[in-house]
Chain A
Amino acid sequence: MSWELVVNVLVAGVLTGMVYGLMALGLSVIFGVVRVVNFAHGEMMTIAMYAAVIVFAALKLDPFLAVLPVAAAFFVFGYVLQAGLINPFITRPEHSQFMLLVAVAIIMVNALLMIFGPDARNVQTDYQLESWALGPILFDKARVFAASAAVAAAAALFAFFRFTLTGKAIRACADNWLGAKVVGLDVKRYYALTFGLGAACVAVAGCAMVLLVDVTPVLGPAYTLLAFVIVIVGGLGSMGGALLGGVLIGASEALAGLFIQPSAKSMFSFALLILVLLLRPQGLLGKRQ
């Protein structure tokens, strides 16, 4: 096996991994603040992918332009979901929250199945087949654009949490919700805001991902599991960890597909998850509690 092949596969894996990272970032932010594990995360991702497909089919709008309306719609959707459905559950036990989001996930997957049927959908643009060559190493244009969008969205989210007053308020709610309440923050509203932001991350990731893979309704549960693996590996609640985990998982999936068998690739992700849970349960970049 030539080294060029290995490097090319690795590059593609890392670039895809950045999109994975953004998806997982949404999950991580939601868990870090609201302390609810979003079991419908991958299902939300597939809805975003279908949204990009519809917008593309109806308006011929490139998925990178569709990002803005889709993300805005997802922000509202996430806000409403948290404010209306999940907020009453934040004081309930974990299995109760789990059941709630599993029910939401079941509804989402099957609503997609009802509307779009089981067939794969995709988006075709002219730059999907083009690439830049750097010596023997090829960079797919679509992958580079997707990864750039993911990094840009992640950077925007970082900046929001670090520099804006609202971002600070959300971090305060995450650190100590009772304290946040005492100083007069409307914690539930910030929870809804956070879920909205997490959903917007997923929307951007979904619009980027639709350029790289075909979408079917059953992808949802697989993406949910993938997002779990990534955030546990990176550190549940750590923003940098989610991106690092995404890149690691993207690279390991690509290499496992090359060296062993494509169908066995997620087995390595789960093996990695088990190892991290046992040796460093807080994740690579997580803080020990």
Chain B
Amino acid sequence: MTRTALVLGVLLLAFLLALPAFAGSYLLSVATLILFFAYAGQAWNVMMGFAGQLSLGHSLYVGVGAYAAGALFFHYGVGPWAGIWLAVALCVALGAVIGFLAFRFGISGVYFALLTIAFAEFTRIGFDHIAWLGGPGGMFLKVAQRDTIDLASFRGPPEMYYYAMLALAAAAFAFCAWLLRSRAGYYWQAIREDEEAAQALGINTFRWKMLAVIISSAMTALAGVFFAFYYNNLFPEQIFHISRSIEIILGPIIGGLGTLFGPILGAAVLTILADGITEILAALGWEIPGVKQVFYGLVLLLVIMFLPHGIWPALARRIGLGR
């Protein structure tokens, strides 16, 4: 990361830290959502952007993480600080199983992507039939009063959730910046560019790809825990749905795959775009179901056609930055 990028990062962080002082509750909820997708996108980016393994089933880790911590709280009153460990452990185990099976049997590219979809869909339908977790009717966490901060059970005002998500997103950014410059980061990039060549150079591609899956699934599990305690209701149909996986990966792809600022920029652009379209359509009185998503799809189409590498690389070139 260049000096300019560092300054830019610090400025962005300062702005985000100060945001609750002047933002209203609506803006704060939008900002929290942006940070959520920036974080989840950063996690997915480790696997696809760094190591080149296309996962289309990251909703699996969000969902399992959310349900693990949510169930502990719902059934036993155990707060998220213990739930995190269960969520991470389960997601790492799942990621390791999927990664092991896929990489051991030489499954890659489109086939790997479809395998990840299959696991997520299998789990979605499975959770519909687990009565202990609420089944298709959903699981609802008790919503406590919101004006005081209760850190033990992670209950409090919107500002608390905002700062928690900001801390997660900032930590993920720093972690990914470090990862990208670590030995693992260079090995991943070698694998991403040409797996056979990487192997020929003596890189144990299986081991490093496994590491990417494990880190990515562990990070995504935390997004799930946050989701459970922020939204307080979990439905298999929503949380495991393939459209959730797509939401997660749109940010990094639109923002710039494999870059550090890409997932953040992409999440911001997409969330603001979606909300902006809603506002404009409401102002015009065009509130027909589906209109919003049609516009969203059109913008997506234009971005992918004209900015194949995402917005950030194009922007970074403009303002004279590296990645």
> Is B243 interfacial (CB-CB < 8 Å)?
yes
Given A100-B305, A102-B246 in contact, is the A277-B290 Cβ separation under 8 Å? no
> Is A37 interfacial (CB-CB < 8 Å)?
yes
The reply to whether A277 and B289 contact each other, CB–CB distance below 8 Å, is: no
Residues of B within 8 A of A221 (CB): 242-243
Cα(A107)–Cα(B292), bound, Å: 10
Interface residues of B in 81-109 (CB under 8 A from A): 101-102, 105-107, 109
The reply to whether B106 and A281 contact each other, CB–CB distance below 8 Å, is: yes
Given A232-B114, A267-B122, A277-B118 in contact, is the A103-B301 Cβ separation under 8 Å? yes
The reply to whether B297 and A110 contact each other, CB–CB distance below 8 Å, is: yes
Interface residues of A in 264-280 (CB under 8 A from B): 264, 266-267, 270-271, 273-274, 277-278
Q: Could you tell me the dominant secondary structure of chain B's interface residues?
A: helix
Residues of B within 8 A of A65 (CB): none
The reply to whether A266 and B118 contact each other, CB–CB distance below 8 Å, is: no
Residues of B within 8 A of A261 (CB): 129
The reply to whether B301 and A107 contact each other, CB–CB distance below 8 Å, is: yes
Residues of A within 8 A of B107 (CB): 277-278, 281
Residues of A within 8 A of B270 (CB): none
The reply to whether B257 and A107 contact each other, CB–CB distance below 8 Å, is: no
> Is B27 interfacial (CB-CB < 8 Å)?
no
Query: A140: shortest Cβ distance to chain B, in Å?
Result: 27
> Is B119 interfacial (CB-CB < 8 Å)?
yes
The reply to whether A94 and B122 contact each other, CB–CB distance below 8 Å, is: no
Query: B246: shortest Cβ distance to chain A, in Å?
Result: 6
Given A95-B54, A221-B243, A225-B242 in contact, is the A114-B106 Cβ separation under 8 Å? no
> Is B197 interfacial (CB-CB < 8 Å)?
no
Query: A171: shortest Cβ distance to chain B, in Å?
Result: 21
> Is B288 interfacial (CB-CB < 8 Å)?
yes
Cα(A92)–Cα(B307), bound, Å: 12
The digit string for A94-123, where 1 denotes a CB below 8 A from any CB of B, is 111011101111110111111001100000
**Size of the chain A interface, CB-CB below 8 angstroms:** 42
The reply to whether B118 and A110 contact each other, CB–CB distance below 8 Å, is: no
The reply to whether A277 and B111 contact each other, CB–CB distance below 8 Å, is: yes
> Is B199 interfacial (CB-CB < 8 Å)?
no
The reply to whether A103 and B297 contact each other, CB–CB distance below 8 Å, is: yes
> Is B125 interfacial (CB-CB < 8 Å)?
yes
The reply to whether B115 and A106 contact each other, CB–CB distance below 8 Å, is: no
Taking a contact as CB atoms closer than 8 A, the residue among A99, A103, A263, A281 that contacts B105 in the complex is A281
The digit string for B278-303, where 1 denotes a CB below 8 A from any CB of A, is 00000000001111111011101100
The reply to whether B111 and A114 contact each other, CB–CB distance below 8 Å, is: no
> Is A20 interfacial (CB-CB < 8 Å)?
no
Taking a contact as CB atoms closer than 8 A, the residue among A92, A228, A267 that contacts B125 in the complex is A267
Given A95-B253, A263-B129 in contact, is the A270-B121 Cβ separation under 8 Å? yes
Taking a contact as CB atoms closer than 8 A, the residue among B102, B118, B125, B242 that contacts A273 in the complex is B118
Taking a contact as CB atoms closer than 8 A, the residue among A88, A107, A217, A281 that contacts B298 in the complex is A107
> Is A229 interfacial (CB-CB < 8 Å)?
yes
Q: List 13 A-B contacts (CB under 8 A).
A: A95-B48, A99-B253, A100-B305, A110-B290, A111-B290, A114-B290, A221-B243, A225-B121, A228-B117, A236-B111, A270-B118, A270-B121, A277-B105
